[in-house]
Amino acid sequence: MYKKKIKHNNNYKGKVLLISMRFVEKQAKIEDAVYEAIEEIADEIGLNIPHYPEVYWVGKNFDYDSLGFTQEVRTSGSLFDDEYNAIFIGDDHLIDISEESAHFLHFANSGFKHVRVPDDKLHFFSLNTWVETLGFLGSKFVCPERRANYRGKDLFFMQKEKKERKLAQIERKYGKDIAEEFYKYQQAMNIGEAIYFSYLQGKTTKKFIRELFKEDFSQVTPFEALCFLKFSYCPPKDESVLAKMVEAVRAKTKQH
């Protein structure tokens, strides 16, 4: 019995060592991929890399507590956290890696901090959508095959009642989580994709995209900036609708 116990413990230690080695190898692989994506995006549009983020591969047993991370950053997916200047990768996929790399470059070059508990819902929605737009756009420079997957009729130009009914339909079909994120990601992905294709066609310059990543909202609000992109790259087919939306934007801007 004693010998068997010793043998069992040795096997266990061997398995732990093997798992640890695999984790270290995976961590190194993810780090290399993230840094390569950061440099590829920066080189493509001429962005500075003022510093590099910490990179963490979030495996099944990733220990947030021992590293001092708060509950807010715990995720089974991937994210960039500007407070810690850290990228967490939960899915070893180039789309995740490139999008979080783009988020890092955006925050590093713009210098603004993400407000987590907003008083102004319009401001928070616009800022979040702006962030996700640049995340998607930046990822396209590494994964050009990526496509916007929040399609359907554009909610941006819908009247409030119709928009709410549409989101209710989405919730019934796909669940509350998808419905809550649908509007934001529909705007972000479709605007990002439109900018990217305009860039490929030579209509949008590297300088313009670079300035989007550097925007610190000291002169314009996130809402104004988002509307500018929306009207420029994804306008409604009906020009009268566009005119009404422009007036609505001006009215909301005056309130802020």
SS3 for 72-90 is HHCCCCCEEECCCCEEEEC
Alpha helices in the chain (DSSP H): 2-45, 64-67, 94-110, 121-140, 160-174, 176-200, 206-214, 222-233, 239-255
Segment 77-91, tens digit of pLDDT: 798 988 889 999 988
Q: Compute the distance between CA of residue 22 and CA of residue 11 in angstroms, rounded to an integer.
A: 16
State residue 79 phi and psi, 5-degree precision.
-160, 160
Looking at residue 233, its amino acid is Y
- The pTM (predicted TM-score) of the whole model is 0.83
241's tokens: 């609708």
Model pLDDT, residue 159: 80
Buried b (16+ CB within 10 A) or exposed e, 198-229: bbeeeebeeeebbebbebebeeebbbbbbbeb
DSSP annotation of 137 reads H
Q: How crowded is residue 141: how many other Cβ atoms within 10 Å of its Cβ?
A: 20
- Percentage of the residues of the chain whose pLDDT score is greater than 90: 46
Q: Does the structure show a pLDDT above 60 at 254? A: no
Model pLDDT, residue 174: 85
127's tokens: 């800022």
- Percentage of the residues of the chain whose pLDDT score is greater than 70: 77
Segment 111-127, tens digit of pLDDT: 877 655 557 788 888 99
Q: Are 82 and 113 in contact (CB under 8 A)?
A: yes
Domains of the chain by residue range: 1-111, 112-256
